[in-house]
Each structure stands twice: as structure tokens, then as C-alpha cells.
Amino acid sequence: MRLTEDHEQLEELLAGYALLALSGEDAARADRILTEHVPGCARCRRTLADYRTLAGELALAAAPVDPPDTALAHIHRAMDDVPLAGRRPRRGTLIALAASIVALVAMGGLSLVLGGRLNEAQTQAGTALEIVSAMRSPGAQPVHVEPQGDLPPDSGVVEVSAPDIRRLYLAGDAFPEATPGRAYQLWLGSDGTWAAVGDQFWPDDGVILLEVVVDVARYDAIWITEEPIGTVPQDPSTDGRTWRALLPSTG
């Protein structure tokens, strides 16, 4: 096969990649060429950059719509509690919430230490009650998400969800700091296809708490990976720390 034909196929893949439209073998092949070929090929680097730019510009084809009046205020409030890359979240908030949740959780007979990435809503007592409610819901089955490789066994986390709440909670108290330049990402899998859920997160002194609005019943596996800060690949990265578990069937 001639080089020009090779690049025709590569460009086809890169176009689909930029549009987030690849799946299956094409997605796997794109991942390979992005790591093995593109970095050393000026032509492909240029093509990918152009198509990524184009993918951003295409958003302008949609009619602009005024966001709700309250949206900016809501973002401002959340900004105060979102941990910045390389910075820690507000410790006082974490401790206050962790204390209230642990007290409530203890009533349910399951001891969890909670803390971590929080937004304002999560600092409210209502959230704590939701967690307890999730654990007491019919069909709730806490899952231990196990560390892989050489990670210490106590770095595992607990996933809590229930069929009727469409929320997932993740908690741990010995979670290692992410590799510099990376953050943790939660993935849910279904028949071998993975979807990134929620924002990237960081532990606070080893403590994490994550609440994600998602119907966990549709998934059969959970995976936590390290990803570059601010970017989420189409599939989980396997070159960093990982935690995995199968989710119980709720059917």
C-alpha cells in the first residue's frame, strides 16, 4: 500500500476521531495511531489539529441560546468549592460534611469515611441524607472497587448505588495522590464499552467522595483511571493507577 493511501485512511480516522464518532475497532485503531504514528508525523499532527479546531467551530452552527439567568450564579457558587488543579479543596467544608455523613452512615450499619471533591449542593445536609437513603434502598449493594497492580489493598474505594435512585456514590479514605499532571476519572462499562462519568477528581489527604447522577443499572463494571488533567480520552487509560470492579446485576 502506498504512503498516500495510508494517509488517506489515517485522515479518515482522524476526521471521525475529531467528531467523537468512532467506535469498536476504529476507536482502538485511532488510539494506536495517535500514540504510535501521529506524534512523529507532521502531516497527521496538522490534520488532527485542523479537524479538532473544526469540531469546535461546528458548534457555531447551532443557534445560540441564552442560558437560564441563574446559571452564572450557580457556576460562581460551584467555583468556590471545585478543587483547582494542584490545589486542595477547602478542608473545613470537607471535615464538616464528612462528620455529618459518617454519623448518619453509622446509623445504617456501614462505616464509611467520606470527604473529597465537593460542590455546594453536596455540602448540604440533604446530600448526606441521600447517601444514607441510597444505602438503605431496596437492592442497594455496596461494591468494593479493588486497586490493580502494586497499589496497596487499603486504597480501594466503595461504590454505593441502588436501582431506584439514579445516583452513584464513591468513597474511600486511603486514595493516593494522582501522578503530577493527571487526575482521576471514573468510568462505567457496559459489554466492554466504557463511558467517562462525572468530572475528574482528586483525593484530599487520601479521602474522596464522589456523587454522580447516572443510572448505574445500565452498567456492569466500574473503573477508575488516571487521565491527563482537562482531557478525557474515548477509552480508559491503562498506563496509570487503576481500580476496577464488576457491578452486581440488578435485573
Partner 1 sequence: MREDDQHDLELHRRLSARDREAFVELYRRYGRSAYGVALRVTSQEVIAQEVVQDAFLALWRAPEAFDAARGAFRSFFLSLVHHRAVDAVRREERLRKRTERASNLEPVTGEDPAEDVVEDAYLRVRRKEVRAALSTLPAEQRRVLDMAYFGGMTQARIAEQLGIPLGTVKTRTLAAMRKLRAALQEG
Binding site residues, partner 1, CB under 8 A:
11-12, 15-16, 18-24, 26, 49-68, 71-72, 74-76, 78-79, 82-85, 183, 188, 195-197, 199-200, 214-215, 218, 229-232
Sheet containing strand 221-228, edge to edge, reads 193-201, 182-190, 221-228, 242-246, 143-147, 157-161, 167-172, 208-213
Residue 128 to residue 126: CA distance in whole angstroms: 5
* Minimum separation from the CB atom of position 47 to partner 1 (A): 9
Count other Cβ atoms within 10 Å, centred on residue 23.
Answer: 11
Residue 189 near residue 223, CB atoms below 8 Å: yes
Strands (E), the chain: 143-147, 157-161, 167-172, 182-190, 193-201, 208-213, 221-228, 242-246
Residue 182 near residue 226, CB atoms below 8 Å: yes
Q: First-to-last CA distance in the chain?
A: 49
- Structure-block grid coordinates of residue 179: 501522578
Residue 93 near residue 204, CB atoms below 8 Å: no
- How would you class 249 by CB atoms within 10 Å of its CB: exposed for 0-12, middle for 13-18, buried for 19 or more? exposed
Minimum CB distance to partner 1 smaller for 132 or for 170: 170
* Minimum separation from the CB atom of position 45 to partner 1 (A): 10
* Minimum separation from the CB atom of position 11 to partner 1 (A): 6
* Minimum separation from the CB atom of position 3 to partner 1 (A): 17
Minimum CB distance to partner 1 smaller for 79 or for 103: 79
Minimum CB distance to partner 1 smaller for 3 or for 65: 65
* Minimum separation from the CB atom of position 6 to partner 1 (A): 14
* Minimum separation from the CB atom of position 9 to partner 1 (A): 9
- Structure-block grid coordinates of residue 1: 500500500
Minimum CB distance to partner 1 smaller for 24 or for 92: 24
Minimum CB distance to partner 1 smaller for 110 or for 121: 121
Count other Cβ atoms within 10 Å, centred on residue 248.
Answer: 15
Minimum CB distance to partner 1 smaller for 21 or for 246: 21
Minimum CB distance to partner 1 smaller for 55 or for 151: 55
* Minimum separation from the CB atom of position 165 to partner 1 (A): 15
